[in-house]
């Protein structure tokens, strides 16, 4: 069921700054804009890659005269692959933005990332091109064995008027904590719909599906 939220209604403390913790990102929300940025946890991968690259460079430089050619070739490949991706990933983790909604400009920007590196194209979407926001999840999805998932995820989806979809954020949690993460997802959806004067389809867990 589509729901429309008026900007005059104060929902989930919309008049004050809020930070919502998402999957590998945080949503920073105030009266003028909503920004979804990578969390500090995304620095772990680039830091590890950087250490591997630094060690490979050190071994390559110190062993030019002693190491076999095949080992030098492997080290060079590691440096060529990990070097640029490490820099891109670090920049994305520190200064990247996944999503930006600005009230005064009546637009939002979605970063379409490739390979998780924070590189790609940005889609500019005016508010009047937004059909709705929608919260989707896999709470009722079963494994091939017929058992329900132990880890449940929720996605906040932006759907344009041409039905093109963008996943702008997601949350994951153990099944027992799914109602709490769904509440966070719905809260972010309400903030987005409220600021952009858009419709919202909230996520829901049927009462009959709740674990005892």
Domain range annotation of the chain: 3-37+98-209, 44-93
Percent of the chain with pLDDT over 70: 87
Residue 71 tokens read as 């080992």
More confident residue, 111 or 116: 111
pLDDT-based confidence at residue 196 (cuts at 50, 70, 90):
very high
pLDDT-based confidence at residue 43 (cuts at 50, 70, 90):
confident
Closest CA relative to residue 135, chosen from 187, 209, 195, 206: 187
The pLDDT value recorded for residue 41 is 78
The pLDDT value recorded for residue 27 is 94
The pLDDT value recorded for residue 120 is 58
pLDDT at 108 over 50: yes
pLDDT-based confidence at residue 180 (cuts at 50, 70, 90):
very high
Question: What gap in Å lies between CA 193 and CA 44, rounded to an integer?
Answer: 33
Answer whether 0.85 is exceeded by the pTM.
no
User: What are the backbone dihedrals phi and psi of residue 21, each rounded to the nearest 5 degrees, phi first?
Assistant: -85, 125
Q: Under 8 Å CB-to-CB from 30, ≥6 apart: which residues?
A: 16, 17, 18
pLDDT-based confidence at residue 8 (cuts at 50, 70, 90):
very low
């Amino acid at each position: 069921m589509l729901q429309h939220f008026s900007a005059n209604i104060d929902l989930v403390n919309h008049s004050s700054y809020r930070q919502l913790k998402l999957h590998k990102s945080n949503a920073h929300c105030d009266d003028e804009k909503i920004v979804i940025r990578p969390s500090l946890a995304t620095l772990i991968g680039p830091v590890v890659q950087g250490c591997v690259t630094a060690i490979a460079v050190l071994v390559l430089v110190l062993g030019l005269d002693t190491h076999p050619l095949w080992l030098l070739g492997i080290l060079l490949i590691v440096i060529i692959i990990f070097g640029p991706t490490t820099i891109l990933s670090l920049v994305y983790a520190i200064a990247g933005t996944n999503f930006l909604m600005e009230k005064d400009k009546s637009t939002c920007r979605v970063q379409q990332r490739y390979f998780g590196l924070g590189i790609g194209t940005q889609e500019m979407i005016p508010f009047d091109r937004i059909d709705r926001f929608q919260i989707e999840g896999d709470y009722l999805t079963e494994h091939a064995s017929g058992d329900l998932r132990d880890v449940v995820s929720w996605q906040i989806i932006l759907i344009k008027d041409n039905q093109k979809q963008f996943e702008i954020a997601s949350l994951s949690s153990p099944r027992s904590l799914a109602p709490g993460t769904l509440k966070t997802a719905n809260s972010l959806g309400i903030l987005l719909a409220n600021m952009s004067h858009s419709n919202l389809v909230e996520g829901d867990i049927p009462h009959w599906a709740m674990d005892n």
